[in-house]
Structure 1
Amino acid sequence: MVYYWLFFLYCQLVVCLAWSDGAVRRFPPGFMFGVASAAYQVEGGWDADGKGESMWDRSIHKRPDLISDGTSGDVSTDSYHNYKRDVEMLRELGVDFYRFSISWPRVFPDGFTNNKNEAGFQYYNNLIDELLKYNIEPMITMYHFDLPQKLQDLGGWANPLSILWFEDYARNLLERYGSKVKYWITFNQPNGICMEGYGDGTMAPFVSVKGIAEYICVKNVLLAHARVWKMFNEKYRVKNKGSLGISIAVNWLDPLNNATENVQATDEYREFTIGLYVNPIFSKTGDFPQVVKDIIARNSKEQGFRKSRLPVLTSDEISAIRGSADFLAMNHYTTSLVSRPKKNNHPSPSFEHDANVKLTYSKHWAVAKSPWLRSAPYGLYKALIYLNLKYDYPYIIITENGWSTDPGLDDTQRVDNLRSYLNALLLAIEDGAEVSGYAAWSLMDNFEWTAGLSERFGLYEVDFDAAEKTRTPRKSAFVYKEIIASRIVDEAFEPKSMQMTLSDRRMKMKAKIEL
């Protein structure tokens, strides 16, 4: 415990010294730059051309008050009709890949694969072809929070049959697009799916069965991922020469101070928020972290349960899940400071009661529009070093990292955040982290779940009042474009023009390669 505390103090010192050493660090050859989005957040067309109802559609239409500004994803940026403009923006930036998700109810309106919506499949085929036309690799997330409502009616991810539903759905995606798509992600953030969707009820399906449903969900999602991995590994890997991973939120956690109880609380909370998802797949032994199993079992007994509320993974299930990913798709946004409260006042039972921590932030960290988002770039470095030490240098692609603001084109705070985090990433790579790509969240403003349109994460600003949902590059788009083209983070670079064109160095370089 003391070792970890001293080691991560050292890490923070390394970051501070490196940022002041004046060295010019360059992203290595083959490093991929991209941007990310998600179907429900950008596509709109919620019932267009045969698309089925998702659990987000049902939830928001019944309860618009769940969204802070009363908006929805019914139209959003209307990428369903504007995908060619989206690809044009990707070309303007000069990215290597575009991470997007497929809407399950758009291709299978009822969730079950007997009822296919060819119009939905054609939409994604058109998008993929448009990307490949300009040498932009599609990176597809199979599931990004938008479960078909009819499957949620049957219990959603709390139903063990969801494992088979997802396997059938994934098989169809691999059959349709496997020859064109080399990068696949099964799930985006199981913690968001389970803890927020089925535990605290702050995300669709807005179910709150605390301390029980979220853990059932975690097991089912991991097993669903493992089933798809096995299918991919046996049938599609050699044929399509692709790779498959899972996207996990790995925000960093530091102790508030070096008090023993706070260091212990931080170690445990990392296992609850990171290890619960990473350990079963990427550790040598597999299974849920032992400390998590012990705490939940103890609490369950005290609460009168006959068995632990955390479902057991059998030896066969542990074996199936362990090693079931080519890469860890890592979403990282922020850092929190952890302390142990004197009294556990969290609802019992609940994930919060099991973890039993208090989270705060440093007063020195910049605050985004999103109240939970603070800028602490050293946390990315420390998170990557932690993964190296604990999981033996996993192969990582950063699939989300971003900053929220109010509307406006001069987003200097986003620029500062982007540069700082990319500098931290360069240091981590220098110190051995196996990171092969980075995706900014997000390409453009979108529907930010329960925050609606009130928080803007886009490199491109979207005029949601305009019928055509006009996209305009922010300052951050020009800065990111320059980083991609130069492969360095130039703190002195300032855009000379706010007019984005396709005639940058990167596009010229790509054209030469094509010739």
Structure 2
Amino acid sequence: MVKKEELLKEYEQVEPTNVSKTHFPPNFVFGVATSAYQIEGACEEGNRGASIWDDFTHTEGKIIDKSNGDVAVDHYHRYKEDIDLIAKLGFDAYRFSISWSRIFPDGLGTKINMEGITFYNNIIDALLQKGIQPYVTLYHWDLPLHLHESMGGWLNKEIVKYFEIYADTCFASFGDRVKNWITINEPLQTAVNGYCTGIFAPGRHQHSSTEPYLVAHHQILAHAAAFSLYQRKYKDKQGGNIGLVVDCEWAEANSDKIEDKSAAARRLDFQIGWYLHPIYYGDYPEVMRNNLGDQLPKFMQKDKELVRNSLDFVGLNHYTSRFIAHATKSPEEGSFYEAQEMERLVEWEGGEVIGEKAASEWLYVVPWGLRKVLNYIAKTYNNPPIYVTENGMDDEENDSSPLHEMLDDKLRVRYFKGYLSAVAQAIKDGADVRGYFVWSLLDNFEWAQGYTKRFGLVYVDYKNGLVRHPKSSAYWFMRFLKGNEEKNGKEE
């Protein structure tokens, strides 16, 4: 098992005692992030069509607190207030997602919904008026329900064509002002949680040995089709950049044994390699081909050519890390986990937990893991430009705690200090990291966990009119971004 002292020795030698903005390059981007279904609400306003998450959240037993995103935190009506908050806190950038079914209510691309176009134009213009750069995600899990019900959604290769039409419309409508695009957010989570374990929309698990890999394959092709379209039609005029967001929990070998090191390497190939290997090397990682065989689709030659080098930057969503040990039988169900032949562990050699625990059962505070995964991407994929597109931690919703206690989020402040230090170290190590986005601006609808978990820099009072209250972490960031983060106490 891993000895804590040995692993942390190098990390602690270079850790800034008090991370500051001066540890980052002058043009480094600091932003906050959200997604449409989690914050917008107004599910039947503005001619919006239903998404798979509307259907999923209204299905009994899917969401822990029986909640949904019908209203969420009402960003649809409060976007100006929320953008004012971003500006007040001092962030350079705002990453948000467009709801596909606000642009095309049926997903098919036959008739543009101008009310949806107007809504996002208003957001983009309001951001730019405040000097905040929009970073726009085209797909953050909320597939138009009609596409799922009529043709199987991501299971059908036709989805690539419809995604390309949707992307084209967004580039044409917003690309004069939006210069940073993300095609798809965390395709792994859609594939595994949506089509293997079934805990996310659309909740499929009946064919878990094949469907996740088909879904992933079509997402890669959809991303590449949108990238290719942008190069042909918009790049010269608009000059924007396009990336794909992958998510990765750092995998640290549980010992020096070769089987544990191999298991950790496998784990990374199944997380990051699944999506980045086809883009950088033309095919899925060898270990996935070996362990999955015919379950993994094959790229036709024309698809390989489409996919190769189809991004300007890598977006990384990272929250936590695990120790990985070889295991012939995975304790986690589903072919995705079984094929990895590994076990995820959370304890150091002496039995101490890997890091302080946040509210979610999967989330431990492990700053050194972010440095390692950034360096891994740099080394494995020829040092591409990287944006940390999500990073953060959650508190448990607590009805009985007074507001001032919920706002004093000391662990979150420690989390950000540690993880920002790790980013600064990775840059010093040579990784080309260009930006960092906090997840999330606001407490919001947290997928299957409903409103039981709070990730926001800003507390949303669900019981009293969705009033926004910045937390201690928001004020810490305000000082950090102004360059005087060492001062104690809150801003007045």
Q: Determine if the alignment matches structure 1 residue 332 to structure 2 residue 305.
A: no
CA offset at residue 205 of structure 1? 0.4
For 2:308, which of 304, 307, 322 is the aligned residue?
Answer: 322
SS in 1 for 2:295: coil
Contact residue 346 and residue 356 of structure 1 kept, 8 A: no
Q: Determine if the alignment matches structure 1 residue 367 to structure 2 residue 357.
A: yes
Gaps of 5+ in 2: 348-352, 398-405
Aligned to 1:165: 162
The count of corresponding residues between Structure 1 and Structure 2 is: 475
Q: Determine if the alignment matches structure 1 residue 380 to structure 2 residue 370.
A: yes
Contact residue 472 and residue 490 of structure 2 kept, 8 A: no
Aligned to 2:420: 422
Q: Determine if the alignment matches structure 1 residue 262 to structure 2 residue 247.
A: no
Deviates more, 1:458-467 or 1:168-177: 458-467
| Cα separation, 2, equivalents of 1:159 and 1:17 | 51
Contact residue 479 and residue 494 of structure 1 kept, 8 A: no
CA offset at residue 69 of structure 1? 1.1
Q: Determine if the alignment matches structure 1 residue 140 to structure 2 residue 126.
A: no
For 1:482, which of 451, 473, 479 is the aligned residue?
Answer: 479
Deviates more, 1:170-179 or 1:332-341: 332-341
CA offset at residue 26 of structure 1? 1.8
Q: Determine if the alignment matches structure 1 residue 465 to structure 2 residue 463.
A: yes
The 3 A distance-change label for structure 1 pair 464 and 286 is same
Can you list the C-alpha shifts for 1:230-250, whole angstroms capped at 9, x where unaligned?
110111111011111011102
Gaps of 5+ in 1: 298-307, 500-515
For 2:488, which of 494, 499, 513 is the aligned residue?
Answer: 494
The 3 A distance-change label for structure 1 pair 77 and 343 is closer
For 1:390, which of 370, 375, 380 is the aligned residue?
Answer: 380
For 1:40, which of 37, 42, 46 is the aligned residue?
Answer: 37
SS in 1 for 2:58: helix
For 2:339, which of 354, 369, 374 is the aligned residue?
Answer: 354
CA offset at residue 354 of structure 1? 1.0
| RMSD of Structure 2 on Structure 1 (CA) | 2.0
| Cα separation, 2, equivalents of 1:70 and 1:124 | 29
Aligned to 1:443: 441
Aligned to 1:206: 203
Normalising by structure 1, report the TM-score. Answer: 0.89
Deviates more, 1:120-129 or 1:335-344: 335-344
| Cα separation, 2, equivalents of 1:184 and 1:258 | 40
AA in 2 matched with 1:366: E
CA offset at residue 341 of structure 1? 2.3
| Cα separation, 2, equivalents of 1:427 and 1:346 | 33
The 3 A distance-change label for structure 1 pair 316 and 485 is same
| Cα separation, 1, equivalents of 2:7 and 2:487 | 28
| Cα separation, 2, equivalents of 1:34 and 1:295 | 39
| Cα separation, 1, equivalents of 2:299 and 2:482 | 46
For 1:104, which of 88, 100, 103 is the aligned residue?
Answer: 100
CA offset at residue 342 of structure 1? 4.7
Deviates more, 1:10-19 or 1:252-261: 10-19
The 3 A distance-change label for structure 1 pair 340 and 117 is same
| Cα separation, 1, equivalents of 2:131 and 2:331 | 54
CA offset at residue 73 of structure 1? 0.6
Identity rate, percent? 36
Normalising by structure 2, report the TM-score. Answer: 0.93
| Cα separation, 1, equivalents of 2:385 and 2:16 | 28
The 3 A distance-change label for structure 1 pair 131 and 23 is closer
